[in-house]
Structure 1
Amino acid sequence: MQILITTSVHKPARVLSFTPWSLALAVLALIIPLMIASLLVYHAIVLKAAHEKWPIVSDVVRFVERQDMAQRDQYLRANLDAMAVKVGEMQARLVRMEAVSERLAGMAGIKPEELRKIEPAANPASGAGGPLPALRQAPQVDSMADLDQLVAQMEALGDRNADVFTLIESRLFEKRLAALTIPSSPPVAGPVGSGFGFRSDPFTGRPALHTGLDFPADTGTPIMAAAGGVVLSASSHPQYGQLVELDHGNGVVTRYAHTSKMLVKQGDLIRRGQTIAEVGNTGRSTGPHLHFEVLVEGVQQNPAKFLASKDSTGMPVAQLTEFAPRPWR
């Protein structure tokens, strides 16, 4: 496209050439400022009309605002309902977790009064407390404030459940440690020969208290620790012969007497079932066997009450109390 511009008969004509792109840019350069100006004028007029309450314009503006607010409320309501459903599902899971945690707490030996100490704290502003009764009902969410309150309750219950599970884990760990230090594993595989209690002394023939269990076995048979602990002593004794003593904590000590060979030394850390010595016939003994004792606070106890396994005949060791005298001390 070309445009000829002439200013005088004696002067040559000026030619302006336009491409389609240059025409489009020129049109945009004219339209955009006009649109901006018209929007500014419209905005100023609408604001002035709404502020000064012009009869017709102000009514139209208020109608448009009401429509816009209604749409926004509808959108928020739909999203609020969707979030309330999700929160309700999470709420139900937390309540189920609370019931499970309370059952597990009872199994772990945690008393109800201990659980009450970790109930969610009361709201200082309202002065209310208790076990979150609202969480056991269907959620009623009418506003964002209600949703925030429900989420806050769920957070409190989640924190409480986390504390309960931590306490349960701690108690179970304590029980596991305690079980590891209880001498409940038989030190020698095989039947018990002579039990705890009074019997005829094999040397004097007079009644005497036998303070442990005798396990007859061949010389060199492995002797295993009945529980984990620390070697208290591993030395020779006039009556017990080569004697190993293990300290299991809480005042519990086990003795392994008449051994032919000691495989540990004082201060060694021992795990349950570890071989610590070999059966022998040292000290005051008439034949190869292991004399096994359990002491609590320095007093000999019946080891059969601690042993949880069974002997070779299938009889529970805990039931073995009195036996026929055998020539082993």
Structure 2
Amino acid sequence: MQIILVSRHLKAARTITIMPRHVLATIFALLVLVFSTSALFSWLSVALRLPVVEDLLVTLHLQEDRKTRDHVDNNLHLMATRLGELQAQVLQLDALGERLSGIAGVKRERSVDIIKAAQGGPYIPAPMSVGALEKEIERLAAVVDRRSDDLAHVETKLLEKRVRERLLPTVLPVKDAYLGSPFGHRSDPIIGTRAMHEGMDFNAETGTPVIAAADGVVLMAAYHPEFGNVIDIDHGEGLTSRYAHLSRIDIKPESLVKRGQLIGAVGSTGRSTGPHLHFEVRMLGVAQNPAHFLKQGDEYAHLKRR
């Protein structure tokens, strides 16, 4: 690079040639001057304890302290918020667990952390440190996990209970019917001698709908010499129900039926003296008193009796 100097004080123009090394040398000299001046100023400020420098250092320290304090306060606020959320979750899970346990009929064992000795005294707030907050959050998170596991267990029991209820014949198979012969020994209606009646009769007009007393699978839906048109339903675990003397059959063998589903109609087929439904409940082939099952439902108490 060349610089040409022209002035009235100069008789002729002067040319100055600037080489790259000249530029680098100038920059290096400036940097050395800046660092030297800064080092000298810092040394003087420390050695002579200049008020301006001390005030500047104090201000910087205060700013750093304030930033650190704001960061800690913000973290404490977030941790306190999280702690409050966990405490609320524990209370909600406890209340929900109690309600579900009552519905499912499951007795919950109160955890050790719930059972506390009697305490009292004036309330004097004591702020928690960061470490204490972290420990409390970890403890409550573990409590929430345990409560969730407890609720999952209760939910399983509740589901099992509902399944069992759906499979138990607790619904009256005939609506608006009169209770006829109960379960047990009686005088046979055909020949008059003492005989065992292995079911209970529901007296109703021919054509009155007959429904399934519980969920199940149809084992048989056919004509029988003594029971007439008869339907046998398997409810699982050896429990079956029988609907006999039907005037018609509305389902087929091996079909699935739901509680309350129409399966046939009252009739007087087979060995019968009049229109009625003969209803049986058997466990592993042994006749049971159907009333023991029907009484678990809400309809048996309103069953009409002559």
* TM superposition score category, shorter chain reference: 0.7 to 0.9
Query: Which position in structure 1 is the counterpart of 2:299?
Result: 310
Aligned position for 1:160 = 146
- CA deviation map 1:17-62 (0-9, x unaligned): xxxxxxxxxxxxxxxxxx9999866776688789xx75637x9386
Q: Could you tell me how far 1:280 is from its partner in structure 2? A: 1.5
Structure 1 stretch displaced more, 184-193 or 150-159 = 150-159
Alignment of 1:56 with 2:42, yes or no, is no
% identical aligned pairs: 32
Consecutive aligned runs of 4 or more in structure 1 exceeding 3 Å deviation = 5-12, 35-50, 59-66, 109-113, 130-134, 137-140
> What whole-Å deviation, never above 9, does each CA across 1:261-306 have from its counterpart, x for those lacking one?
1111211000011111121211111111110011122211111221
Contact (CA 8 Å) 1:88, 1:139: kept in 2 or not?
A: no
Letter paired with 1:173:
L
Q: How many residues align?
A: 275
TM-score, L = length of structure 1: 0.69
1:204-237 C-alpha deviation (Å, 9 max, x unpaired): 1112221111112222221100011000111222
Written as runs of structure 1 = structure 2, the 5 A alignment for 1:159-308 is 159-190=145-176, 191-307=178-294, 308=297
Secondary structure, counterpart of 1:175 in structure 2? helix
Kept in 1, the 8 Å contact 2:87–2:140? The answer is no
1:42–1:187 CA distance, 2 compared to 1 (3 A): farther
Do 1:199 and 1:210's aligned partners in 2 also have CA atoms closer than 8 Å? yes
CA distance in 2, matches of 1:298, 1:40: 104
Task: Indicate how the Cα distance of structure 1 residues 93 and 287 shifts in structure 2: closer, same or farther if over 3 A, else same.
Answer: same
**1:157–1:266 Cα change, 3 Å:** same
Q: Is the Cα contact below 8 Å between 1:104 and 1:168 reproduced in 2?
A: no
TM-score by length of 2: 0.74
The SS at the match of 2:179 is coil
Residue number in structure 2 paired with 1:76: 71
Structure 1, gaps ≥5 residues long? 13-34, 117-129, 325-329
Q: Which residue of 1 aligns with 2:18?
A: none
In structure 2, distance between residues paired with 1:54 and 1:133: 66
For the residues of structure 2 that align with 1:44 and 1:236, how far apart are their CA atoms?
114
Tell me by how many angstroms 1:131 deviates.
Answer: 3.5
Q: Contact 1:132–1:153 at 8 Å: present in 2 too?
A: no
Q: Which residue pairs with 2:137 in the alignment?
A: 151
Structure 2 distance, partners of 1:132, 1:48, is 64
Amino acid in the other structure paired with 2:149? D
Cα deviation digits, residues 83-119 of structure 1 (max 9, x gap): 3542342233123124314413532233445x76xxx
Output the CA distance in 2 between the equivalents of 1:266 and 1:55: 108
| RMSD, matched Cα | 3.9
Q: CA deviation at 1:140?
A: 5.0
| Residue 21 of structure 2: aligned partner | none
